[in-house]
Amino acid sequence: MNSTIKITKTTNSRLETVDFDNLTFGSTFSDHMFVVDYKDGQWQNPEIVPYGPIQIEPAMMSLHYGQAVFEGMKASKHIDGTPLLMRPELNARRFNLSAERLSMPTIPEELFLEGLHTLIDLDQAWIPPQKGSAMYVRPFMFATDNYIKVGESKTYKFIIITGPVGPYYPKPISLIAEQKYVRAVRGGTGEAKAAGNYAGSLLPARIAREKGYDQVMWMDGHDFEYIEEVGTMNIFFVMYNKVYTPATDGSILKGTTRQSVITLLRDEGYEVFEKPISIHEVLEAYDKGELQEVFGTGTAVVVAKVNKLAYRDRVLEFPLENLKVGNWVKAQIDGLRAGTIEDTRGWIVPVKSATLV
Ligand code: COI
């Protein structure tokens, strides 16, 4: 596999400095990164180099106009030590859909996956074996022309960095339904994993924190009536013993974990509905004692338990001992990622060894 990728290994590994028993999320980076440049209409010079600073100019377009997209993935270890990925092709495909929405070049899936496998193979010692921990993988692309007229860049950089992470939300989280700001509207960039979507979420997230809530639950941009997603995850409700999640109709991120969770639940016999979910349906179910669980799903969070949801003057609280569906699906994903649950769907992909491919 490494025939086209030039590899320069670090001479100064930082691995020994990492405390794998006390990992936080997102602040530790593995020794290497994969980098490939787009210029003259093609991707060129893929290489793996030691993780470190990159040189940019102040006029670099992505700093001004936000042509930047990314993915989130996780690598884990099978109990026999083999490094594994889960459905990486979904991320490669979604990455290109995001790129297209931002008028950026797509990256051949084979190059995305080759860079990914080669990098993770090289840094596999950075995958934490501890339960609840994993290697987080962040592929991203940004415009690199130095030019400040509004327009598309002609050059881009695609990079993959990785790092060992602990749980994103170590504790159950509380949500507040946003009533002023919107994340996205149909026809906007909400379906893409665009960096700017997250920038716009930071102020409402801070206000939510100041009110005592961990995250914002985004509502539709028209009437603030229909539930969309949460800042870092898609959302699921268990009501009347059935599972509901908002339909992804143009403004909601098509989560890869969301997709897997729906399949796992349906295969297990749960009725799962993807449909517009009004906040008033949720309140009604709660008032009737029929709202059994709320949980979020995402690569970073896996399955996050929600213990409180505020909407205007209502505060709904959920006893976490009831989280039957959420706990089951989390155990499934964790088990698949650790190889303790048999993968009957071909979702789990062993990381290819650079010398064998
Ligand atoms: C992920 O779940 O991987 C994400 O990209 C969401 C967030 C951490 C930005």
CATH number at residue 208: 3.20.10.10
Residues 251-266, buried b or exposed e (16+ Cβ, 10 A)? bbbebbbbbbbbebbe
Q: Is residue 331 one of the residues assigned to a domain? A: no
C-alpha to C-alpha distance for 204 and 231, rounded to whole angstroms: 10
Closest CA to 298 of 266, 335, 326, 322: 326
Choice from 299, 301, 333 to test ligand 1 binding pocket (greatest atom count within 8 A of CB): 299
Q: What is the pLDDT of residue 355?
A: 57
Question: Which protein residue's CA is at the shortest distance from atom 7 of ligand 1?
Answer: 232
Q: What is the CA radius of gyration of the chain?
A: 21
332 lines ligand 1 (CB under 6 A): no
One domain, residues 193 and 266: yes
> Which of 140, 169, 198 delimits the end of a domain?
169
Cβ of residue 231 lying under 6 Å from some atom of ligand 1? no
DSSP designation for 59: T
The protein residue whose alpha carbon is closest to atom 5 in ligand 1 is 72
Ligand 1 atom closest to Cα of residue 300: 2
Cα(324)–Cα(180) distance, integer angstroms: 33
Most confident stretch, 76-80, 159-163, 169-173 = 159-163
List all residues 6 or more positions away from 262 whose beta carbon is below 8 Å from its beta carbon. Answer: 245, 272, 274
pLDDT value at 130 more than 90: no
Asked if residue 350 is part of any domain, the answer here is: no
- Whether residue 308 is predicted with pLDDT greater than 70 in this model: the reply is yes
Provide the residue type at 150 as one letter: V
CA of 309 from ligand 1 middle (Å) equals: 21
Mean pLDDT (the chain, rounded)? 95
Residue 323: its pLDDT value, please? Answer: 84
Q: Is the CB of 204 under 6 A from ligand 1?
A: no
100 C-alpha to center of ligand 1: Å? 20
Residue whose Cα lies nearest atom 9 of ligand 1: it is: 232
* The residue type at 330: K
Does residue 273 share a domain with residue 164? no
The pTM (predicted TM-score) of the whole model is 0.95
> Does one domain contain both 147 and 165?
yes
| Domain count along the chain | 2
Query: What is the domain extent for residue 317?
Result: 173-322
Q: Does residue 336 lie in a domain region?
A: no
Residue 59 has pLDDT above 80, yes or no: yes
